[in-house]
Structure 1
Amino acid sequence: MSVAFDFTNKKILVTGASQGIGRSICISLCKSGAQVFGMARNAASLEALAAEAGSTFTHLVADVSSGPEELASLLEKHQPFHGLVNNAGIAALEQAESTSVETMDRIMSVNFRAPVVISQIIVRGMRAATVSGSIVNVSSQAGIVPLKDHLAYCSSKAALDMATRCMALEFGEFGIRVNSVNPTAVMTEMGKAAWSDPAKAKQLLDHMPVRRFAEESDVVQSVLFFLSEASAMTTGHILPIDGGFTTC
């Protein structure tokens, strides 16, 4: 089911825009009237997305784990934004006993530090222009329940969820809402490859009342809801999009 949202005259920044969920978010926002700025490292993929999304899409080639000054300089001329989707994220499979410091640092820099730094930059622009806005962090069910061989990833998403709550607490007085969506495995191209083994998939699906993985549209619709005025009284919320995995 698709719900209609109207983001006419709204400027929204989406990180991790070049593929998967981020790409779908950008396309849906453009179709809903938004002026979308998609950030990612892959210039070719962003250019392909721009050709599909149309004239209301602007691509920004950047690494979200860059320094605050570099990111602020890139975004300054586009401020203020009305919305931000912190979607960029990475994962690595390592056993808890042997998770390296390098892996922990790399995952935390993208999955936790980058969303906080970019949110700080966007919030300063919103406040300077007296803009009420919404920030949506794309987290994971792995921030709520542990997964084997995902120590760094699970920890980074749990940290992001707490950052969501802390930012919601402090930014609310400025009319800025902050929420997280926490999907289960999503059937992006990467997700299909990762969960193509029926035995592996069964371990997860057997604990999900709906007995299916999420589609990109399941996540996109929730993100658009949090960005929209339909959720005007919702902030600091951690929304599992997991078919009941974390709650049943």
Structure 2
Amino acid sequence: MQISFSGLRALVTGAGKGIGRDTVKALRDSGAQVVAVSRTKEDLVSLSKERPGIEPVCVDLGDWEATERALGNIGPIDLLVNNAAVLLEQPFLEVSKEAFDRTINVNLRSVIQVSQMVAKGMIARGVPGSIVNVSSIVSRAAIFCLTSYSSTKGAMDMLTKIMALELGPHKIRVNTVNPTVVLTHMGRRVTNHTELAKYLKERTPLNKFAEVEDVVNSILFLLSDKSAMTNGSGILVDGGYLAC
């Protein structure tokens, strides 16, 4: 299935590594102009070398005021991927205010802020658009020591439905992808827990974790007109984990 984003402008958060980085590359390769947002300047420099022509923006999305300054005048955006996230492992009884606040601010609050900016621009221009929020299977299945992360992903799933409800009349679609463990730098922190990784893989009917490409392909589908009637929904990229 060939998908073209020629003539469209996309914004991807968490673009420095993993899913976000490969999404930027795929969008650029499919003809889109891409704004790549990351808090790590070195990642943006190397990404710009790999895909010349992207528009790098270095900002910590956990900082509301800095995000407003960096993206408040970003210009017209047709496609948005809210991918930025932090994962701070703590058992429930040890969750700290600092860790919880940081996780909420990056994983959830920034989705609201950036999506508001983009959606208001789409509405003002009178154009349709597509927003994809990168969630997780832990929005629906509990895993030890991921209290803060899982809570933000559960909230993201409901936020996506609300966004779909309110933005749909403006022809703006909003959906999620909900992957299992993905073999990125963040994902390998989970696989380093040998017993947990063994349990998760054995429960998965396909008996494997996701590759970054598996998630990126689902994101591209949801961004494209190939999913024109998909709104307020989610694609499980979990190998059947939640089917059990």
Q: TM-score category by the smaller chain?
A: over 0.9
The answer to whether residue 126 in structure 2 is matched with residue 130 in structure 1 is yes
The answer to whether residue 3 in structure 2 is matched with residue 19 in structure 1 is no
Deviation at 1:98, TM superposition (A): 1.8
How big is each residue's C-alpha offset from its partner over 1:6-57, in whole Å with a ceiling of 9 and x where there is no partner?
00011000000001110000001000000000001111110110110122x1
**Residue in structure 2 matched with residue 204 of structure 1 by the alignment:** 200
What amino acid is the match of 2:19?
A: I
Gap change, CA 1:142 and 1:193, over 3 Å in 2: closer
Deviation at 1:200, TM superposition (A): 3.0
Deviation at 1:74, TM superposition (A): 2.5
**Residue in structure 2 matched with residue 75 of structure 1 by the alignment:** 71
> Structure 1 residues 166-175 or 234-243, which shifts more?
234-243
Separation in structure 2 between the aligned mates of residue 170 and residue 190 of structure 1, nearest angstrom? 32
- Which of 30, 51, 59 pairs up with 2:28? 30
**Residue in structure 2 matched with residue 143 of structure 1 by the alignment:** 139
Matched-pair contact (CA < 8 Å) for 2:86–2:107: yes
**Residue in structure 1 matched with residue 60 of structure 2 by the alignment:** 63
Give SS of 1:206's match: helix
Separation in structure 1 between the aligned mates of residue 176 and residue 61 of structure 2, nearest angstrom? 18
Give SS of 2:93's match: helix
Matched-pair contact (CA < 8 Å) for 1:50–1:59: yes
- Which of 160, 166, 170 pairs up with 1:164? 160
Separation in structure 2 between the aligned mates of residue 73 and residue 101 of structure 1, nearest angstrom? 26
Matched-pair contact (CA < 8 Å) for 2:59–2:66: no
The answer to whether residue 81 in structure 2 is matched with residue 89 in structure 1 is no
Give SS of 1:135's match: strand
Deviation at 1:100, TM superposition (A): 1.3
Unpaired stretches in structure 1, ≥5 consecutive residues: none
Deviation at 1:164, TM superposition (A): 0.2
- Which of 191, 194, 213 pairs up with 1:195? 191
**Residue in structure 2 matched with residue 39 of structure 1 by the alignment:** 37
> Structure 1 residues 58-67 or 196-205, which shifts more?
196-205
Separation in structure 1 between the aligned mates of residue 134 and residue 38 of structure 2, nearest angstrom? 15
Unpaired stretches in structure 2, ≥5 consecutive residues: none
Give SS of 2:203's match: coil
What amino acid is the match of 1:41?
A: R
TM-score (norm 2): 0.96
Gap change, CA 1:217 and 1:48, over 3 Å in 2: same
Separation in structure 1 between the aligned mates of residue 8 and residue 73 of structure 2, nearest angstrom? 16
> Structure 1 residues 158-167 or 183-192, which shifts more?
183-192
Q: Percent of counterpart pairs with the same letter? A: 40
Give SS of 1:18's match: coil
Deviation at 1:70, TM superposition (A): 4.0
